[in-house]
A and B are shown apart, each in its own frame.
Chain A
Amino acid sequence: MPETITSPLLKNGSADEMRSLEAGLDSLQSEAVERRGVDWSRLLLPLAAFVVLLLAWQFYVSLGLRRRDLVPGPLDVLGSLGTLWQEGNAQEAVWTSLQRGITGFTISIVVATPIGLLFSQVRLLRRAFGPLISGLQVLPSVAWVPAAIIWFGLTDATVYFVMFMGAIPSIINGLIAGVDQIPPQYRRMGQILGASRWEMAVNVVLPAALPGYVGGLKQGWAFSWRSLMAAEIIAMGGSLGFGLGSLLEQGRQLSDMGIVMSAILIILFVGIAVELLVFAPVEKRLLRGRGLLAGSTR
């Protein structure tokens, strides 16, 4: 609908007046972005939460409802952690598992990224293999352990195979989801700017899909770490090294609840450390750069 006729628009003002007017509007309308230093609540709050849980645990144990060797208290577990550390078992287990985890995860990224990109760009491939990839992601990767042991024996290959089956599908799916969520005007703009198919993939599709891709990587890491633990618990001996899963299983065989709890806590802490030191900063940076952090609880 045309508006009612109001006074017509006229040219007015000199170039200099316009320039200063524009500068004034720019500073009024765009908000200054605040950058703060280290936010201590990020460190103190998780620590406080940890202490609260620890106290609750100690309180439960001190009620004396269960035998102490079945439900050890925080101090007992700390004791067996100290023993494991002194014997060097803890360090060896963490080192072995982390090394495997990082190697397996890196290879998974290298394999999954081109596949994900290809699937997201080629409709035929995606329609053909998409459901299969989603199915593989739902299938617990532990289910591959028996098959892997039969194929590869008790070697590192078994552990890596199980990790790949866990991590690769979830990284592929993360990347595809990231590409699916790209607003259509970005591609249209790329087309208008004259991007070839390759230029579009590198300059538009990949950077636009980056948040989804990083989400997929995070999930991929979770899957590979879980799969690794599962494989290490089930497959022990042979040429397999001594990982955190092996430590856990050893604790069970010795009926030593202290070792079991220690292993579980170490696995948990490695997970927390990777999240806080690797993924959280990357994600935060990514979201802040795109103005997606405002109002979030991150």
Chain B
Amino acid sequence: MTELLTAEPAIESASALEADDGGRAPAVVLENLGKRFGDGAPVLENVNAVIHQGEFVALLGASGCGKSTLLNIISGLDVPTSGALEVPADGAAFMFQDSSLFPWLSARGNIELALKLRGVGRVERKLRATELLELVNLGQAAAKRPHELSGGMRQRVALARALAQERPLLLMDEPFAALDAITRDLLHNELERVWRETGRTIIFVTHNVREAVRLGQRVLLLSSKPGRVVAEWDVSEEHRTNAGAAGKLTGDITDRLREEIRRHA
């Protein structure tokens, strides 16, 4: 299920491999991960994090903290220059800020292509695509092309396509940043429901503290230049339903994020 990718001699990782309190195995392990492009300043330095299977982690950071680079490394699109990481062997599904749907395919066609490239047979593809479209409440819009859909609908098709990849790990790079507030609230509910129904491990990158608290079970704060995990908060169900608790946590995290940004003044 997991493989070890090393850029330097593997570092002792016994502690990281231990299961967490809930008994879940780690899905992603990052150890002293570093990345620099050419001779430039490092984008990521000594990133350490363990993300467990089925966990929803929000990765929070200001601009230039290397969030996207980190996701690219986890997905295998890029390689680290130092440190080690452990990721699911069959890679990760990915969702971007723009839906990146193929404009020549309908909503259904886009989902079916993801299934086809996984080697799913024609009949099975049709059934599965219908299921996934229903999961994101888009059964009616199956035949529409991306340009006929609203931004929120496109992102839901993109979510269905990411789920069609059947990867245990789902990486999301600010997927709702370009949406209006009403649609975004709705998609938060939708994503949470999909996460509960499918049991995926989700790493959700955002620069929006409220979004991080609304969605994540855990919020990791990444510093900027170089990127490194500098703080971490657990988010309980109370933080999502009680305005007082939510406000306090959001305030704490925002203060810490601002402190991090001020260091660069």
Contact = CB atoms under 8 A, between A and B. Distances in A.
Interface residues of A, number: 42
Interface stretch (B39-47, B125-133, B254-262): B254-262
B114 A193 contact: yes
A7 B241 CA distance: 12
Contact of A8 (B138, B189, B210): B210
Interface string B121-165: 000000000000000011011001111111111000000010001
Given A2-B258, A9-B214, A21 B243 contact: no
Contacts of A8: 210, 213-214, 243, 246-247, 249-250
B199 interface: no
Contact of A210 (B104, B151, B247): B104
A94 to B, nearest CB: 36
Contacts of A254: none
Nearest to B106: A289
A290 to B, nearest CB: 4
A2 B151 contact: no
B98 interface: yes
Nearest to B188: A9
B141 A208 contact: no
B69 interface: no
Interface of B: 62, 75, 77, 91, 93-94, 96, 98, 100, 102-105, 113-114, 116-118, 137-138, 140-141, 144-153, 161, 165, 182-183, 185-186, 188-190, 192-193, 207-211, 213-214, 240-241, 243, 246-247, 249-251, 254, 257-258, 261
Given A29-B151, A189-B100, 10 more contacts: A2-B207, A7-B243, A11-B214, A26-B140, A29-B150, A186-B102, A189-B102, A192-B91, A194-B165, A203-B117
7 contacts: A2-B62, A8-B246, A11-B189, A193-B161, A194-B91, A289-B104, A290-B145
